[in-house]
Structure 1
Amino acid sequence: MIKPWYKQIWPWLLISLPVFSILKAVHTVYIMNQQSPDLVVDDYYAQGKAINQNLSLYREAAARNLHANVLLAGNKAVLSFQANNVLDQQLVLDFVHNTIANKDFKVVAERSGESMYIAELPVTPTGKWSLVVHDPANQWKLRAALSLPATEPIKLTY
């Protein structure tokens, strides 16, 4: 005598494959909604429309002939300018993590000597970062792509 279909193993194995796939898809959607990746710039397209304004600050740094290097040692950032330019007593350093927005931080570097600035960092950054250096009045900007830890000074560009 043949058993009814619901008492055999083969139909249940065949039914379990699509059911398992559906459950796994629902679980994946749940994980995606709970742990969505951070966007470093929330409004990317609005930022894209303002690209000329941002580039003008880098052009201003080029017009002022600003050249600088940054050395990150432990929790200190040492900025050294190559020319003796008339700069403020403080500079702002924006550390922007490439993928995780809540790791971003901003520090103020104090002048130490004629063309050197020192800032104390709240954390010792590791991995890939973008560094933007600007004056408190936000009239010019310099930037660098950082791959940390670094043992040599990193050149800031326009």
Structure 2
Amino acid sequence: MSDVQPWYKHFWPWFIVVLLLVVVIKSMVAMSIAIDNADSLVSDDYYKEGKAINMDLRKIKQAKNLGMQFLIEVHDHELKISQHGGPEYRAALQVSFIHPTLEDKDFRINATADGNGDFRIGLSEAISGPWNVRLQGFDNSWRIQQRIDIQDDVEYWLN
């Protein structure tokens, strides 16, 4: 008679167990990656943000009515913003750079005009790629925002 070997001495049960273990380990890794890299683009309070967007649209319309127009020049670690349309604006300018996907790269600066009426912003590191740029008056009465693909030594018109 032939000897029947116990199950643990056969190839196929171990093959199935290994496959199941690989699937469990990969799903744990995928879950840890999903938890560590939460999506920052989804808002918890979308209704309140929707109401704020309507207020922003009024500010954008006000900027268009005033004829506000700005030129942004990018040079290595410096941004130069100069006004070329609308009533002369010399108060502080709220400048926001919002990255489309990486919230930790966003930054906001209050810039003041120099003697020539230009707003200069020094940067700790050069920026490039797609950005949503928002210029807003210090009194929050108008706003200009536009998406631009920033490259070094290029001029961008915001209107």
2: CA distance, partners of 1:7 / 1:138: 76
The letter for the 2-side match of 1:16 is V
Could you state the TM-score of these two structures normalised by the residue count of structure 1? 0.86
Task: Check the 8 A contact 2:76/2:153 in 1, yes or no.
Answer: no
- Root-mean-square deviation (CA), in Å? 2.1
2: CA distance, partners of 1:40 / 1:22: 28
Tell me whether 42-51 or 30-39 shows the greater mean CA deviation.
Answer: 42-51
Task: Check the 8 A contact 2:69/2:86 in 1, yes or no.
Answer: no
Name the residue aligned to 1:52: 54
2: CA distance, partners of 1:41 / 1:67: 31
Task: Check the 8 A contact 1:40/1:101 in 2, yes or no.
Answer: no
Q: Larger Cα Rg: Structure 1 or Structure 2?
A: 2
Name the residue aligned to 2:107: 105
Instruction: Report SS of the residue matched to 1:54.
Output: helix
Residue number among 121, 127, 130 corresponding to 1:125 in the alignment: 127
Name the residue aligned to 1:75: 77
2: CA distance, partners of 1:41 / 1:114: 41
Could you state the TM-score of these two structures normalised by the residue count of structure 2? 0.85
The letter for the 1-side match of 2:23 is S
Tell me whether 107-116 or 144-153 shows the greater mean CA deviation.
Answer: 107-116
Name the residue aligned to 2:30: 28
- In the TM superposition, what is the alpha-carbon distance from 1:11 to its structure 2 partner? 1.2
Task: Check the 8 A contact 1:88/1:135 in 2, yes or no.
Answer: no
2: CA distance, partners of 1:107 / 1:123: 14
1:28-72 deviations in Å (ceiling 9; x for gaps): 112211222333866444312322101001011011111112111
- In the TM superposition, what is the alpha-carbon distance from 1:22 to its structure 2 partner? 1.9
Return closer, same or farther for 1:139/1:42 CA change in 2, 3 Å cut-off: farther
State the aligned residue count. Answer: 157
Give structure 1 stretches of 5+ with no counterpart: none
Return closer, same or farther for 1:40/1:121 CA change in 2, 3 Å cut-off: farther
